[in-house]
Copies of this chain bind each other. A is one copy, B any other.
Amino acid sequence: MLTDRQLLILQVIIDDFILTAQPVGSRSISKKDEITHSSATIRNEMADLEEMGFLEKTHSSSGRVPSEKGYRFYVDHLLSPLRLSNQELTTIRQAFKDRMMEFERVVQKSAGILSELTNYTSIILGPEIFETKLKQLQIVPLNDQSAIAILVTDTGHVEHRAFNIPVEIDHPQLEKMVNILNDRLRGVPLVKLYEKLQTEIYDLIEIHTDQHEHAYSYLQAALLDEHQTKLYIGGKTNILMQPEFKDLDKVRSLYAIIEKENEMADLLRSGEQGVHVRIGHENPFDAMQNCSLITARYTLGNEQAGTIALLGPTRMEYNRVISLINVLSKQMTETFRGWY
């Protein structure tokens, strides 16, 4: 459908625009080394490419700018798999070298690297923690009124919550209950915890504890938590550096979206395996019309998975960014594999 020459020209134009953020004119293209034709020829081809919907003009006598269709084609067909620079590779390797042991730390660091290396905003969705399984429940009394319940999951995630101790429950009873709970709840996914508590555990407590009503309501308070999947964001202010966001209103509305954790999480969840690119209107939110979102999944050894994403203008360095996110998601998966 497109001639080789058109492919070449389209590629060169988009490459140039990605670099400069300026509409690309026929003359500047004809001067490139890889182009042997005159500006007039380029103009003709550009007119054709525009007619086909790959390019746009900002006004009648301006240079050309890639359309969303253009970017889509570019991403699908024109990306030459780029080797990351040594500098980039060493940055990543360096960061993962000192054996980090905690999920949070790895993710935080990854988000940092990604945004630092790209100057875009990175967003990482943690694994769905409500699917992780309880490893151990611990209750630490602080004083005679309050205590802290600590949940440790099989992925090493730690959640804690403080609550009031009803006066009716004394220390030995507490220990007893914790033991019962640990016996019965170990290996149960967090999301099922509350349910189990209401069925099996209730009866058990009734048998073993004097003040079972009090004990029960207090356990409810301790265990009923939201277990919300967390979103890690890096380089939020990088958005300000992109020329397409010199309009503060756009920045504001974009920030508004990013801050809606639930919607953002849903958006990231939807991706399948591999790197995935959403360009402009392919994104569900109005405020992201001028943005592209690159996502990739990472896994945590078992079937658990999360998403790593990068948000930038549609004029994005797809080449580099895709390679980077690919490498990083694999590196994360690799790091986690050893743990579980």
Q: What residues make up the interface of A, taking CB atoms closer than 8 Å to B?
A: 99, 101-103, 135-136, 138, 140, 142-143, 145-146, 148, 150, 152, 154, 156, 158, 160-164, 236-237, 240-241, 246, 248, 251-252, 255, 259, 339-340
Contact = CB atoms under 8 A, between A and B. Distances in A.
A245 to B, nearest CB: 9
Nearest to A160: B158
A150 B138 CA distance: 10
A140 B160 CA distance: 14
A17 to B, nearest CB: 22
Count of this chain's copies in the oligomeric assembly: 2
Contacts of A158: 148, 150, 158, 160
Secondary structure dominating the interface of A: mixed
Given A138-B138, A150-B150, A162-B156, A143 B101 contact: no
A280 to B, nearest CB: 23
Given A135-B140, A252-B237, A101 B146 contact: yes
Given A102-B160, A138-B138, 5 more contacts: A99-B164, A135-B140, A142-B156, A148-B152, A158-B160
19 contacts: A99-B164, A101-B162, A102-B161, A102-B162, A142-B154, A142-B340, A143-B340, A146-B156, A148-B156, A150-B150, A158-B158, A158-B160, A236-B236, A237-B251, A237-B255, A237-B259, A240-B248, A240-B255, A248-B248
A236 B241 CA distance: 17
Contacts of A156: 142, 146, 148, 162
